Each structure stands twice: as C-alpha cells, then as structure tokens.
C-alpha cells in the first residue's frame, strides 16, 4: 500500500510555544470580557437610571438595555421613559424609542459612565406646566457624561400654565448635543420647523445646566438664522422673509436681538410687493411663546416705522394676538399707501406723520379683515396723482380766492391734511378729516372700503370768497340769490359736499339735502 505522503497534515507542533501562550491568554481575556460585560449590564442600567433620576427628579423606566464589550464597548436599548416626579397624569418628561451608545475602553468601567457617541431614534420631550419638584436649585453633576448625542428627529412640547391652552409644540431636526453632563451645560445645534410663517430655523448655542426644580429657569443662549420663511402661510399677507439674530436668558425669559428682511412684503388687498426690513429687541417667554417687542425699527421703502408692543397667546382661540403702538415720525405717504391700494401709482404723495394703536386678533381670517387701527395722521404737503382730482383741487383753490379766470393746471399743494381714523373689517372710518389749499378748507368724515376701494364721505367746503365772486353773469346773480344758504360765519361760503364713488373715479357734488334743509 502506497502511503499518501502528499496529503497536508496539520502539525500543532509547528505553532511556536509563545503563540500558544498568546492565544491562550487571548481566549482567557475574551472569556473574562464577556463575563464582565454580562456583569456590567445591570451596573450600567443602574448608573443610567440613577443619573436620569438625579438630573430630572423623576421616575425612569428602561424597557431593555444591553451592554456589549466586543468588538468595542457599546450600549443598546429601547423604551426609555422619564416621568416628572413619577406623575402619570401628564405626558412623560422624556421618551426615547430606541438608542445606541458607544464608549471608550474604560467608558463603561469608571464613574461617571463616559459615552462617546449616543444615537437616539424617536426623542420626545415635554416640559410640565408646574416644573419638577426637587430640593436642589440645579441638578448636581450627573453620573453619565456624553461627548456627543444625535437625534435625527425630535419633538418638544411646553405645557401652558393655563390648563385651557394647548401646549407649545416644536418639531426639531438634526439635533446634536455635545458635552452632556458638564457643569456649564451642553452645546447644541439643531433645525427647528416653524409653522407660521413656514420655514426652518437653524440655531446653535448652549443649553443648561438643567434647573431640576424649575425647568423654565434653565439657561439658554445662542444664535439663529431663519431663511426663506414663506409669509404666504399667514392668511392675507405674502413674501419671503429672512431673519438672523442672537438670544440669551432662561427658558421663560429670553432676550432676542435680530434683524429681518422681506424684499417682497405684501398685503393681499393691494398685492403690491414692497421692501420691508426691521431691527428689533424683544423678550420671549420660551414656555408659551409670548413676545414683548421692546423696540422695533422698521423701514418700508424710504419710510421709517417705530413700534413697541406684544404678541400674546390668545385665550379663547388658537393663535396669538398682536398689539402694537406704531409711530411714523417722518415718512412718505406713497410708501404707506402701497400696502393698501391696488395701484402701482399712488393716489397721493407727500410727507406723513402718524401715530396709531394696532391690534391683530388671533381669529382665523385674512390680516386685512381682522386688522384694527385707531390713530391720527398729518400730511404737510401733498399732491394728488390723479390729474382730474388735482385739477379739481387747483380749481377749488383758485375759486376759493374769488378768481374765476386763469388756467386750472397749477400744482396747488394740499396742506395741513390731518385727521383721526379707526379701522375695522377692512374699512377705515375717518373723523375730523380736514385739509387746506389756498383760499379753501375741506372738512370731511366718512369711510374708505379697502376691499371694494369705494369712498363715502360727507362734510363742508369752506371758501374764503362769497359764491358770487367765483362766477360771472347770470351765474353770479343766481349765486347771490342762494348765498344766504351758504353763508360762512366770519365771511365767505360754507358748502355741504359729498364725495362718493371709487378710488379711481371719485364723484364730487353738493349735498343738496343738507344745504337747503339746514337751519
């Protein structure tokens, strides 16, 4: 029988003795590592639960948690629930669907536990209205330190102190926290989805340390950028807004300084895009969204607008009520009219000063329909851009001085145009409206409807001259006959007038009923 001398044979004798020793030690170390990992799982669970309990003064539940030591130290688990004060009558303070964490070689064997990276799948946070009870003012140093924690999607709800109001809700994307467990708080970066106006806010800063006994007093500071916010998601206005700024404070009182820029701001009643930019200082209650505008400096085209006020969450309806005191110290009328008039060409030009109190209730309606104004204004020198209207003003000035000759084509300026106004339901009611041209004064009261662009005014035309001096021939004789009906105290004439029609085609006429039935 031939021996198969060519068949390879494994010869354990060929392995050097040193390698045998190394393999044996490796097997022993592996066995010990597995054994230590199994033993370490309850320790890691206890440390994690203790740290969360300590930080949030809460009851913590972890559905599953497993520790792996090979090929690298790792912790995975599901179902973390953190209940504030152990309460089950309010949403949990924190819930996590699943998580995984990696650690250095000694991360799971020391105190505190030190995790290098933590990834969360499904993070929901809810801050209760009454805070969390604890004897400590700030949470003590935690028993877990995390270098980086990442959550692709998260939600944050902040309950209102008023039980009749819904909590504030935020959708957060790409949340990254670093330095969790450090005494000075954690650094963060995130994207926050803003519902109205629709857009995404990118922000970074620091959050904490967490105030265990008063979460609303937790410090926060950072910078933000709000790009391409669509104002069309707010009924009645439009444009694309961008804003940048910084903020600092505690959750229930955050000081914000920033700027906004909207190159195509518009209100649907006119549809005209106009450039609007602002600089502002505000204080925001991060727990309910209420905002106090300490200073707003806006520019609408070439007109400066100053405002102070508040944006407060409404009690009975969803949304917020805006209440502002607005001043235009020295603006241009045509800039203001561009927001409300459906015409590229303004009906009037001139310098304007204005003071008004503005309220925009929270009800579901277009901005122009729920906008409420009450104030006063004054025009120093103004001209009508409609040729026919300006011609009538020129004629009025000439005849008011007793001059029936000469052309009507001058450029008589309307001076001292002032009045008070109240706006509701897309209509402006003017009172004490008066203006002067050389030789005449007009006193009016009435309504301008923004939706229909219609005019309905009544008042008096006060002329320096008697009627007979404004005409000649047979008309002069007729004027003298009716002059007693139009005598003005102190001399001249007082003629009741009415202005009606549309903005483009106003109709001027004698209010005969008032003229011949008075006195």
Q: Could you give the maximum distance between any two Cα atoms of the chain, in Å?
A: 157
Q: Is residue 290 part of a domain?
A: no
- Phi, psi (rounded to 5 degrees) for 229: -75, 130
**Per-residue confidence (pLDDT) for residue 308, from 0 to 100:** 95
Cα–chain center distance at 357:
19
In a domain, 86, yes or no: yes
Rounded to 5°, the CA angle 350-354-355 comes to: 180
- 255 assigned to some structural domain: no
Cis peptide before 347 (omega within 30 of 0): no
Q: Which domain holds residue 114?
A: 24-217
In a domain, 486, yes or no: yes
Q: Give per-residue pLDDT as tens, 48-61.
A: 666 666 655 667 78
The Cβ-side half-sphere exposure at 354, using a 13 Å CA radius, reads: 25
* End position of a domain, from candidates 173, 196, 217: 217
As a whole number of angstroms, the distance between CA 38 and CA 298 comes to: 64
Measured at the CA of 197, the angle between CA 192 and CA 198, to 5 degrees, comes to 55
Residue 51: phi and psi, rounded to 5, are -65, -45
Counting the structural domains of the chain, the total is: 2
Report how far residue 225's alpha carbon sits from residue 467's, in angstroms, rounded to the nearest whole number.
Answer: 66
Measure the CA–CA gap between 64 and 487, rounded to whole angstroms.
96
- Contacts of residue 390, defined as CB under 8 A and 6 or more positions apart, other chains included, come to 383, 384, 411, 412
> Quick one: pLDDT at residue 450?
87
Spatial separation of the C-alpha atoms in residues 77 and 120, rounded to whole Å: 10
**Residue where a domain terminates, one of 167, 184, 217:** 217
Kindly report the three-state secondary structure assignment for every residue of 365-425: CCHHHHCEEEEEEEEEEEEECCHHHHHHHHHHHHHHCCCCCCCCCCCCCEEEEEEEEEEEC
pLDDT number for residue 137: 43
* Residues present in the chain in total: 519
- Domain end among 195, 217, 239: 217
Cβ neighbours, 10 Å, residue 373:
17
CB-CB contact of 275 with 265 (8 Å): yes
Residue 36: is the preceding peptide bond cis (ω within 30°)? no
Q: Which helix (H) or strand (E) holds 153?
A: strand 144-158
pLDDT in tens, the chain (519 residues): 444 545 555 444 454 554 444 544 444 444 444 444 444 556 555 666 666 666 556 677 888 878 776 667 777 888 888 887 777 778 888 889 998 888 776 656 666 677 788 898 988 988 776 555 544 444 444 467 888 989 999 988 877 776 666 777 888 999 999 988 777 788 999 998 887 788 889 999 998 887 767 777 889 999 999 988 988 888 888 899 999 999 999 988 899 999 999 999 988 877 788 999 999 999 988 777 788 999 999 999 999 999 999 988 776 667 788 899 999 999 998 888 888 777 777 777 888 999 999 998 888 888 888 989 999 999 887 777 666 666 666 666 666 555 655 555 555 556 678 899 999 999 999 998 888 777 778 888 999 998 888 999 998 888 877 766 666 667 666 667 776 777 778 777 888 888 889 877 888 887 777 766 654
Residue 264 lies in a domain: no
13 falls within a domain: no
Query: What pTM, to 2 d.p., does this model score?
Result: 0.74
Distance between CA 430 and CA 390 in Å, rounded? Answer: 21
230: in domain: no
Domain contains 210: yes
Among candidate residues 230, 236, 147, 146, the one with its CA nearest the CA of residue 193? 230
| HSE value, Cβ hemisphere, 13 Å, CA-based, for 63 | 10
Q: Nearest CA to 217 among 207, 230, 225? A: 207
In DSSP terms, 295 is beta-bridged to 281
């Amino acid at each position: 029988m031939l021996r198969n001398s060519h068949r390879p044979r494994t010869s354990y004798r060929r392995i050097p003795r040193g390698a045998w020793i190394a393999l044996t030690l490796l097997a022993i170390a592996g066995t010990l590592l597995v054994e230590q990992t199994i033993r370490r799982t309850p320790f890691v669970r206890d440390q994690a639960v203790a740290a969360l309990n300590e930080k949030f003064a809460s009851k913590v539940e972890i559905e599953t948690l497993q520790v792996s030591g090979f090929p690298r130290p790792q912790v995975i688990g599901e179902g973390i629930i953190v209940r504030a004060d152990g309460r089950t009558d309010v949403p949990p303070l924190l819930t996590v669907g699943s998580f995984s964490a990696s650690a250095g070689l000694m991360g799971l064997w020391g105190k505190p536990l030190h995790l290098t990276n933590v990834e969360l799948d499904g993070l929901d946070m809810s801050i209760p209205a009454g805070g969390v009870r604890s004897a400590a003012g700030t949470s003590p140093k935690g028993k877990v330190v995390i270098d980086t924690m990442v959550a692709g999607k998260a939600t944050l709800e902040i309950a209102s102190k008023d039980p009749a109001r819904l909590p504030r809700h935020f959708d957060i994307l790409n949340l990254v926290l670093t330095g969790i467990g450090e005494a000075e708080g954690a650094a963060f970066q995130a994207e926050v989805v803003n519902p109205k106006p629709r857009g995404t806010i990118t922000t970074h800063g620091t959050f904490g340390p967490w105030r265990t006994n008063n979460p609303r007093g937790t410090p926060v500071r950072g910078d933000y950028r709000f790009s391409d916010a669509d104002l069309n998601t707010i009924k009645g206005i439009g444009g694309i807004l961008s804003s940048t700024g910084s903020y600092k404070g505690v959750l229930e009182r955050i000081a914000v300084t920033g700027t906004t820029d909207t190159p195509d701001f518009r209100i649907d009643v006119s549809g005209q895009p106009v450039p609007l930019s602002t600089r502002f200082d505000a204080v925001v209650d991060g727990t309910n969204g209420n905002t106090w505008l300490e200073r707003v400096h806006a520019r609408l085209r070439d007109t400066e607008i100053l405002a102070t006020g508040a944006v407060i969450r409404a009690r009975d309806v969803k949304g917020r009520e805006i209440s502002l005191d607005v001043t235009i110290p020295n603006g241009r009328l045509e800039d203001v009219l561009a927001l409300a008039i459906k015409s590229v060409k303004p009906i009037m030009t001139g310098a304007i000063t204005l003071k008004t109190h503005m309220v925009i209730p929270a009800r579901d309606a277009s901005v122009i329909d729920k906008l409420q104004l009450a104030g006063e204004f004054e025009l120093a020198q103004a001209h009508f851009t409609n040729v026919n209207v300006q011609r009538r003003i020129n004629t009025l000035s000439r005849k008011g001085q007793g001059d029936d000759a000469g052309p009507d084509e001058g450029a008589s300026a309307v001076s001292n145009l002032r009045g008070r106004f109240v706006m509701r339901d897309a209509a402006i009611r003017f009172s004490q409206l008066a203006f002067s041209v050389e030789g005449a004064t007009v006193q009016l009261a009435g309504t301008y409807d923004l939706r229909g662009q219609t005019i309905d005014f009544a008042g008096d035309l006060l002329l320096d001259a008697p009627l007979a001096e404004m005409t000649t021939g047979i008309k002069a004789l007729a004027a003298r006959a009716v002059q007693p009906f139009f005598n003005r105290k102190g001399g001249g004439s007082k003629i009741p007038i009415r202005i009606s029609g549309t903005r483009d085609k106003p109709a001027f006429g004698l209010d005969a009923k008032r003229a011949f039935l008075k006195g």
